[in-house]
């Protein structure tokens, strides 16, 4: 018979509010000029985090305005930085800027991404490489740079990656589907090698969330409305997600409420992938 150690006793339930709080934590959000990124940045600020919003240089005016709005609304320590997740030097630059500004990085929302157009089996070499660079290689390099900070500062951390339901089922172009599946698996792989440092890595698979990707669509109104109708008809819950529907999973995974969650995939898709 194996002699198991005596159980040490069940710990009492702690306050959910305290565990969800991000007070004192420093967060870096990539793709933060976009719909989902700017929303998770605001949600983290509301929960007490210091937030660094990162996006490409062409979004700087927008980024500046979002940062100002978040600061005004929540009184949070907020800043922005421009760069490109395709460029290792740029990544090191915005990670260094976050540490310089807030002292460390506790949370990374690895969120920047592009849609893949309607590329099929004959996706061009150039488009494929572009999608892979932004949606897959970028998240790896950003996670590595942030993890180096978390390891050096010895406080662990949380990395939340934005994948997609297209990483679970085939409903989008070749490059998008492949990179969103890849980034989910990449996240789980990072979760295994970073667990010993107390760094948790999880990904979120969103369904249709009405966001920048749709706002900026270059198509006639009736075509866009037809597409929304198609989204709604294909989503069992019967509506497209709003930005408010995209933040809960990310702040949960970023917080101590999820301290036992790593290598997991949270699906927020109105039931699309279950039907
Ligand atoms: N909206 C949806 O329905 C949906 C569904 C599933 C997954 N997603 C994913 O959510 C994430 C955010 O998308 P969104 O809906 O907010 O779209 P969005 O277009 O509003 O935001 C994406 C942001 O990423 C930025 N970005 C693009 N290339 C970049 C680069 N090289 N370096 C840094 N930033 C770059 C863009 O400038 C943009 O601000 C993406 O990864 C997307 O694939 C969105």
Name the pLDDT band for 221 (thresholds 50, 70, 90): confident
Within 154-269, residue ranges assigned H as helices are 174-194, 212-215, 221-233, 244-254
- The token duo for 227 is 């597409």
**CA of 165 relative to ligand 1 center, distance in Å:** 14
Nearest to 212 by CA among 28, 37, 27, 29: 37
Strand bridging mode 107-110 / 50-55: unpaired
Q: Model confidence at 172, in pLDDT bands (50, 70, 90)?
A: confident
Q: Six-digit token pair at 13?
A: 């339930």
Does residue 101 belong to any structural domain of this protein?
A: yes
pLDDT score at 146: 99
Q: Residues 40, 66: contact at Cβ < 8 Å?
A: no
Per-residue pLDDT of 14-72, as tens digits, reads 999 999 999 999 999 999 999 999 999 999 999 999 999 999 999 999 999 999 999 99
Lowest mean pLDDT among 44-48, 114-118, 239-243: 114-118
Q: Which pLDDT belongs to residue 19?
A: 98
Mean pLDDT of the chain: 95
**In this structure, is residue 248 part of a structural domain?**
yes
User: Which is the closest atom of ligand 1 to the Cα of 207?
Assistant: 5
235 within domain boundaries: no
Cβ of 209 closer than 6 Å to ligand 1, yes or no, is yes
Band the pLDDT of 1: cuts 50, 70, 90.
Answer: low
Is 225 within the bounds of a domain? no
Half-sphere exposure of 118 (CA within 13 A, CB side): 1
Confidence of residue 142 (pLDDT cuts 50, 70, 90): very high
Task: Please report the sign of the dihedral spanned by the C-alpha atoms of residue 171, residue 172, residue 174, residue 177.
Answer: negative
Contacts of 81 (CB under 8 A, 6+ apart): 52, 53, 54, 93, 94, 97, 98
Whether 221 is covered by a domain: the verdict is no
SS3 label, residue 50? strand
Is 184 among the domain residues?
yes
Chain CA centroid to CA 30, Å: 8
Q: Is the CB of 55 under 6 A from ligand 1?
A: yes
Is the CB of residue 80 below 6 angstroms from any atom belonging to ligand 1? no
Q: Is residue 63 part of a domain?
A: yes
Cα 161 from chain centre: 4
> Residue 49 is part of which domain span?
20-209+243-268
pLDDT at 216: 66
User: Which residue has a Cα nearest atom 10 of ligand 1?
Assistant: 162
What pTM was computed for the model? Answer: 0.96
- The residues carrying an active-site annotation are 164, 176, 180
9, exposed or middle or buried, with CB in 10 Å at 0-12, 13-18, 19+? exposed
Of the candidates 215, 264, 206, 210, the one whose C-alpha atom is nearest the C-alpha of residue 239 is: 210
Q: Residue 9: what pLDDT?
A: 85
What is the number of structural domains in the chain?
A: 1
Q: Ligand 1, atom 1: nearest CA belongs to which residue? A: 209
Q: Domain containing 145 — which CATH number?
A: 3.40.50.720
Write out pLDDT tens, residues 56-95: 999 999 999 999 999 999 999 999 999 999 999 999 999 9
Which structure tokens are listed for 90? 């740029």
* Domain-located, residue 2: no
Q: Which of 37, 271, 245, 272 is nearest to 172 (CA)?
A: 272
Alpha helix (H) residue ranges in 75-198: 88-102, 125-132, 138-153, 174-194
Ligand 1 pocket check for 245: Cβ under 6 Å: no
């Amino acid at each position: 018979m194996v002699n198991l150690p005596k159980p040490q006793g069940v710990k009492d339930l702690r306050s959910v509010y305290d565990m969800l709080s991000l007070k004192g934590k420093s967060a870096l959000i990539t793709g933060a000029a976009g719909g989902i990124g700017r929303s998770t940045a605001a949600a983290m600020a509301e929960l007490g985090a210091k937030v660094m919003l990162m996006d490409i240089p062409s979004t700087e005016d927008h980024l500046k305005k979002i940062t100002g709005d978040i600061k005004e609304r929540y009184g949070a320590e907020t800043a922005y930085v421009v760069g490109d997740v395709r460029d290792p030097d740029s990544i090191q630059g915005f990670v260094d800027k976050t540490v310089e500004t807030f002292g460390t990085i506790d949370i990374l929302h690895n969120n920047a991404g592009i849609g893949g157009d309607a590329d099929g089996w004959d996706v061009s070499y150039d488009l494929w490489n572009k999608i892979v660079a932004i949606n897959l290689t970028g998240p790896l390099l950003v996670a590595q740079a942030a993890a180096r900070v978390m390891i050096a500062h010895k406080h662990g951390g949380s990395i939340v990656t934005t994948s997609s339901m297209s990483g679970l089922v085939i409903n989008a172009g070749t490059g998008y589907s492949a990179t969103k599946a890849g980034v989910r698996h990449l996240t789980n792989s990072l979760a295994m090698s970073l667990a010993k440092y107390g760094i948790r890595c999880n990904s979120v698979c969103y369904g249709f969330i009405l966001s920048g990707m749709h706002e900026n669509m270059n198509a006639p109104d009736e075509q866009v409305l037809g597409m929304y109708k198609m989204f709604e008809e294909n989503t069992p819950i019967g509506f497209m997600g709003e930005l408010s529907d995209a933040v809960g999973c990310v702040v949960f995974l970023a917080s101590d409420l999820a301290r036992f969650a790593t290598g997991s995939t949270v699906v927020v898709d109105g039931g699309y992938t279950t039907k």
